[in-house]
């Protein structure tokens, strides 16, 4: 069984639909703890490390053979707990970061400010891996804060999702014309 650690209940139906489409029959166990994101947003992701570990331990006790953390803000904390809980713990955004690392310019757009630093750090990890086809060009040379987008009017967003409280964007990449490490 695969357990999923969410910080919002909105993700449950999304991942159930993905499972139904791509892996029918796969058993999923959803654990939703909105306080993890609230605490990480207010005090930093490391502040909720004990609670993340406890949630992971609960999933393992419930029979999970692996856990997928669907929250970018606490993803690194969850990954670091893998050795403690004895099963693989993956973060949902790592494949996205690996794909982004293959490109010269990367923009990160987030609905929550607490997601920016963990996402930029994750992309930096993927850039520094040095694996063929996975970037390997060193960490970001430049991180530029973006502007916060204007809020949309309630009810004018995509789908029926609630409007985020705020949005933030950053860009990580090399200045135009700068050489890539290793000449790539």
pLDDT in tens, 74-127: 999 999 999 999 999 999 999 999 999 988 888 888 888 899 999 999 999 999
- Going by C-alpha positions, the residue among 114, 56, 116 that lies closest to residue 90 is 56
Query: For the whole model, what pTM was predicted?
Result: 0.74
pLDDT tens sequence across 120-148? 999 999 998 865 544 445 555 555 555 55
Instruction: Indicate if the pLDDT at residue 4 is higher than 70.
Output: yes
Q: Rounded distance, CA 51 to CA 49, Å?
A: 5
Instruction: Indicate if the pLDDT at residue 165 is higher than 50.
Output: no
Local confidence band at 176 (pLDDT 50, 70, 90 cut-offs) = very low
- Collapsed DSSP state (helix, strand, coil) of residue 3: strand
- Going by C-alpha positions, the residue among 115, 37, 49, 118 that lies closest to residue 85 is 49
């Amino acid at each position: 069984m695969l357990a999923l650690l969410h910080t919002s209940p909105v993700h449950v139906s999304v991942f159930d639909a993905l499972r139904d489409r791509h892996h029918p029959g796969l058993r999923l166990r959803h654990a939703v703890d909105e306080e993890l994101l609230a605490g990480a947003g207010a005090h930093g992701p490391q502040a909720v490390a004990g609670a993340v570990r406890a949630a992971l331990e609960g999933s393992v006790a419930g029979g999970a053979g692996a856990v997928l953390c669907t929250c970018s803000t606490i993803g690194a904390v969850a990954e670091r707990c893998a050795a403690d809980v004895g099963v693989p713990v993956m973060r949902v955004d790592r494949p996205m970061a690996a794909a982004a690392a293959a490109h010269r310019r990367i923009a990160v757009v987030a609905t929550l400010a607490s997601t920016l630093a963990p996402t930029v750090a994750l992309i930096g990890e993927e850039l520094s891996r040095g694996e063929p086809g996975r970037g390997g060009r060193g960490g970001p040379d430049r991180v530029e804060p973006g502007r916060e987008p204007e809020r949309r009017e309630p009810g004018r967003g995509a789908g029926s999702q609630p409007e985020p409280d705020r949005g933030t964007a950053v860009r990580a990449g090399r200045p135009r014309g700068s050489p890539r490490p290793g000449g790539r």
